[in-house]
Chains A and B, each alone.
Chain A
Amino acid sequence: MSAREPLRAFLAEWIFDKKVPAGTGFLRALGTALLVLLLVQAATGMLLALCYVPSPDHAYDSIRYVDEDLAASVGGRTVAVGRLLRGVHHWGSSAVVVLAFLHLARVYFTGAYKRPRALLWVVGVAIFGVLLGFGFTGYLLPWDMKAFWATDVGLNIVETVPGVGPMLADLLRGGPELGAPTLTRMFALHVLFLPAALLPLAALHLFLVHKLGITPPGARVGEPEVRSAPFFPDHVFRELLVAAAALALVVGLTLWLGPPLEAPADRDARGYDPRPEWYFLGLFQLLKLFEGERVVIGTVWIPGGLALLALLLPWLDRNPERAPARRPVALAAGVVLLAAIAGLTIWGAWSSPTNRRPPPPRVPAGDGSWVPPPSPPIEPPGPAALPAPADGGASDPERAARLAEGEKLMRFYECTSCHTYHGKGDDVGAGAPELVGAAREHDVAWIELYLLDPQRINPGVEMPSAADLEMSDADRKTLAAWIKELAPQ
């Protein structure tokens, strides 16, 4: 009897004897629903870790194994239990972002962040950041095309942060380019570092919610807060109902769309246009509004400024009113921001290409099992891949000098901002052709004309003209001859 007292007291204080303000409705059930979804993410994530390898040589195979080889029998029917589990984890991450966003918006519009709940709000904003981190680190893990290229773009965004950007990007990537260390790092962040950050934040958040209680709807700051409605079972019922609805949606999306998986990550992805997960599309669209040097406005200043504003909100907003109708400025700002985020996200989704690359077929090994398809042959990059002239190149110093001169000009005009040169470029996947072999079917005069005014030959192409680049006629002729010489005859 006495041994059970502390547990009873705890349950009474936290659940059974707890009171909430009258008028507490479904809008105030979002936080607990988010907690339930996070617990589901933790459980499904731990299970997925049973058969996931955070290394480029086996990550994709291990995901495919989960998707295609794990079955359970239910009443004589075969259920792809691996697909189901990974689908719940995948779509659950979307549900987490949606619920966290709705919860944040609810707290904003009902003024619940005001005194005495400033710390509760700040911890909540930090949790939102951690949750976005879970999303970003999570989708590299399948190591498919989308994973690789969307993460590459994301980390390049980090690079645009003034000053510390390149260093920060290298720290996250584990090197100057996305590769094997990045995958292992993202996995470690996803399953160890971020949970370690989330756990204390979530515990503090829950503790503060319990101590401070749910904000009575419409109460002004400083007014005594009256709690007369039962927490259990009334509010718990609402909370679980919202959680169950969200979970039903997650399972529905899983059954309908399954967990997505594209072809294995290919570092030479010409023509592939990467897009991030839908909840980052707004951010992605935002930075497309800014060009050149000013891209930092979209990548750093606007998102960073919003995060800072959010963290400082309880101190910036001194209005003691909580009812939305008595907070016209906050209400207007919130509506404008919501509309902007929604608009950018929809715009980003609208302009997303549908260029997903399906996984390759698995090759049956003849005994009911399968073997992974062979890796594509790797071409050695660099001068070794230059097409050798008939006499062997090394014996032709004039040709070598011409090639070097052309390459120098190519670097000067930064052709590899869009094109690849021996498979390497700043924006691999931009769609511009590989320079080696680009002119296979054209003569030098045609190439000279193309360089002069690409739009005249290929309307709508995004390549800058000679005038745009302030390219001299001499340079243009040299480059054209060089491109021709690069092409294998």
Chain B
Amino acid sequence: MERRGFLAAGVALIGGAIAAGLSWLGGAFVAATSRWPVRSARRWAAICRLSDLQGPDPVAASFSFRRLEGWYAATVTRQVYVTRDERGAPVVFSRRCTHLGCPVTWREQSRTFRCPCHRGVFDPQGRVVDGPPPRGLDVLESRIAGEMVEVAEA
């Protein structure tokens, strides 16, 4: 009976080792394929002139950039609104509603950003006024370069 126990332990050990090795390999592979490639340098895209921001309304703008999606070099376009914050500095809002990602639109009459999908409403500074969005509009990292407003590609 000792021999039987020894062999059964061997079966469990070898079978377990094969299963564990394969599981680790599969898990690590899936994890690695589920990450974006890491960029070492940040690139900036010009989206509008500072002088475009004189009026009372946010300015709709967009920028495109190339990025590597795994093995595929894709061109990605982002829709944004550019406005000024309470101190007058340029601020860039993503048009993606923070609820489920539909594009918000600026309404001049009510002076709000409105989401067409589930009636999310944001004020001119991107704060939630009404509806289901869990947080204000996402702010994209931006900077002023000369006369231009630039936004970080992401």
B39 touches A61 (CB 8 A): no
Across the interface, do B18 and A61 meet the contact criterion of CB distance under 8 Å? no
Is A241 a contact of B33 with CB atoms below 8 Å? no
The answer to whether residues A81 and B28 also contact, given A233-B11, A366-B41, A369-B37 and a CB cut-off of 8 A, is yes
Contact residue among B8, B25, B40 (Cβ-Cβ distance under 8 Å from A232)? B8
Asked if A367 contacts B29 (CB within 8 A), the reply is: no
Complex Cα distance A288/B73, Å?
Answer: 44
Stretch of B63-71, B77-85, B116-124, B125-133 lying at the A interface? B63-71
Residues A68-118 near B (CB distance < 8 A): 69-72, 74, 79, 81-82, 84-85, 88
Asked if A53 is at the interface of the complex by the 8 Å CB criterion, the answer is yes
Q: Is the CB of A72 within 8 A of B28?
A: yes
Residue A185, interface by CB 8 Å: no
Cβ contacts under 8 Å, A44 to chain B: 25-26
Are A61 and B7 in contact, CB atoms less than 8 angstroms apart?
no
Q: Using C-beta atoms within 8 Å of the partner chain, give the interface range for chain A.
A: 35 or more
Q: For residues 344 through 400 of chain A, which have their beta carbon under 8 Å from a beta carbon of chain B?
A: 365-372
Contact (Cβ within 8 A) B40 A367:
yes
User: Whole-angstrom distance from the CB of B129 to the nearest CB of chain A?
Assistant: 38
- Give every chain B residue within 8 A of A64 (Cβ-Cβ): 71
Interface residues of B in 51-68 (CB under 8 A from A): 66-68
> A413 interface residue, CB < 8 Å from B?
no
Whether B17 is near chain A, meaning CB under 8 Å from some CB there, is yes
Residue of B nearest to A64 (CB): B71
Known: A40-B22, A47-B30, A84-B25. A367 touches B17 (CB 8 A): no
Is A70's CB under 8 angstroms from B40's CB?
A: no
Question: B1-40 CB contact bits vs A (8 Å, 1 = yes)?
Answer: 0001001101100110110011001101111110001111
Q: Is A43 an interface residue (CB 8 A)?
A: yes
A65 at the interface (CB under 8 A from B): yes
Asked if residues B14 and A51 are in contact (CB atoms below 8 Å), the reply is no
Least CB distance from A248 to B in Å reads 10
Question: Complex formed: what's the CA distance from A61 to B69 in Å?
Answer: 11
Which B residues touch A237, using CB under 8 A? 7, 10-11, 14
**Closest Cβ neighbor of A234 among chain B residues:** B7
* A447 within 8 A of partner (CB): no
User: Chain B contacts of A255 at CB under 8 A?
Assistant: none
Q: Are A82 and B71 neighbours in the complex by a CB distance under 8 Å? A: no
Q: Does B43 contact A (CB under 8 A)?
A: yes
> A58 an interface residue at 8 Å Cβ cutoff?
yes
Residues of chain A within 8 A of B73, CB atoms compared: 371-372
Known interface pairs A82-B32, A232-B8. Does A61 touch B22 (Cβ–Cβ under 8 Å)? no
A88–B32 CB distance below 8 A: no
Interfacial chain B residues near A247, Cβ < 8 Å: 18, 21
Report how many residues on chain B are interfacial, defined by Cβ distance under 8 Å. 32
| A229-268 to B contact mask, C-beta < 8 Å, 1/0 | 0101110110011011001000000000000000000000
A88 to B39, CA, bound (A): 29
> Nearest Cβ distance between residue B67 and chain A, in whole angstroms?
7
Contacting residues, chain B, for A65 (C-beta < 8 A)? 70-71
Tell me whether A36 is interfacial, beta carbon within 8 Å: yes
The reply to whether A88 and B25 contact each other, CB–CB distance below 8 Å, is yes
Known: A47-B30, A85-B29, A369-B68. A243 touches B18 (CB 8 A): yes
Residues of B with C-beta under 8 A to A70: 29, 32-33
Q: Which of A51, A61, A81, A371 has the most CB of B within 10 A?
A: A81
Residues of A within 8 A of B22 (CB): 40, 43
Closest Cβ of chain B to A143, distance in Å, is: 12
A233 touches B4 (CB 8 A): yes
Residues on B with C-beta less than 8 A from A81 are 25, 28-29, 32
Name the A residues within 8 Å of B67 (CB-CB): 369
Interface check A1, CB cutoff 8 A: no
How distant is the Cα of A372 from the Cα of B71 in the complex, in angstroms? 9
Closest to B25 in A: A85
Q: Is A50 an interface residue (CB 8 A)?
A: yes
Query: Would B26 and A69 count as touching, CB distance under 8 A?
Result: no
Chain B, residue nearest A65 (CB): B71
Q: How far apart are B109's CB and chain A's nearest CB, in angstroms?
A: 43
Chain B residues in 8 Å Cβ range of A62: 70-71
Task: Provide the bound-state CA to CA distance between A370 and B40, in Å.
Answer: 12
Partner of B33 from the list A43, A51, A88 (CB cut-off 8 Å) is A51
Report how far A97 CA is from B67 CA in the complex, Å.
41
By Cβ-Cβ distance, the 7 closest A-B pairs, closest first, are A368-B40, A65-B71, A72-B28, A233-B7, A70-B32, A233-B8, A61-B71
Measuring CB to CB, which residues of chain B are less than 8 angstroms from any residue of chain A? 4, 7-8, 10-11, 14-15, 17-18, 21-22, 25-26, 28-33, 37-41, 43, 66-68, 70-73
19 residue pairs bridging A and B, Cβ less than 8 Å apart: A36-B18, A40-B22, A51-B70, A64-B71, A65-B71, A82-B32, A82-B33, A85-B25, A232-B11, A233-B8, A237-B11, A244-B14, A244-B17, A244-B18, A365-B66, A366-B41, A367-B40, A367-B41, A368-B39
